[in-house]
């Protein structure tokens, strides 16, 4: 008798290699399966909550952008009729005031650097 067997073209030697069919406690296996299913459902629930919050925040952003777009359309229609909306006037005067402040700040800084450079 040979110390090995040929099964399906493969040579199998008798020995202790390979996985033994372990006798797993059926109740423990079922409990692990239930626990795994509970954890899976909890992860799924969290994932759906996250996605719902994400969708909600994106919808709010879309609404805000649509309102802003509508406001710009109204401004354009008013300007096409030769009227300048008060909001644009405020923006323009605010920019002019901002530019005047920047220029005065630049002049003051330039004056300080000139004063410092003239005193050795």
Which sequence spans correspond to the domains of the chain?
26-90
pLDDT of amino acid 63: 98
CB atoms within 10 A of CB 108: 10
pLDDT of amino acid 3: 58
Rounded to whole angstroms, how far apart are CA atoms 37 and 32?
A: 9
> Which residues are 11's β-sheet partners?
6
pLDDT one digit per residue (tens) for the chain, 120 residues: 455 666 666 666 666 666 665 666 888 999 999 999 999 999 999 999 999 999 999 999 999 999 999 999 999 999 999 998 888 888 888 877 777 677 666 666 666 555 555 554
Rounded to whole angstroms, how far apart are CA atoms 97 and 103?
A: 10
pLDDT of amino acid 22: 61
pLDDT of amino acid 34: 97
pLDDT of amino acid 91: 85
pLDDT of amino acid 92: 86
Polymer length of the chain = 120
Rounded to whole angstroms, how far apart are CA atoms 54 and 50?
A: 6
Give this prediction's pTM.
0.49
Angle, CA of 56, 57 and 59, to the nearest 5°: 65
pLDDT of amino acid 25: 86
């Amino acid at each position: 008798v040979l110390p090995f067997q040929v099964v399906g073209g493969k040579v199998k030697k008798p020995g202790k290699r390979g996985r033994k069919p372990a006798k797993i406690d059926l109740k423990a296996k079922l409990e692990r399966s239930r626990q795994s299913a509970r954890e899976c459902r909890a992860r799924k629930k969290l994932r759906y909550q996250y996605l719902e919050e994400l969708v909600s925040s994106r919808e709010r952003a879309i609404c805000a952008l649509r309102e802003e777009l509508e406001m710009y359309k109204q401004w354009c229609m008013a300007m096409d009729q030769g009227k300048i909306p008060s909001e644009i006037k405020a923006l323009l005067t605010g920019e002019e005031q901002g530019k005047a402040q920047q220029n005065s700040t630049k002049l003051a800084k330039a004056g300080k650097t000139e004063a410092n450079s003239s005193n050795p």
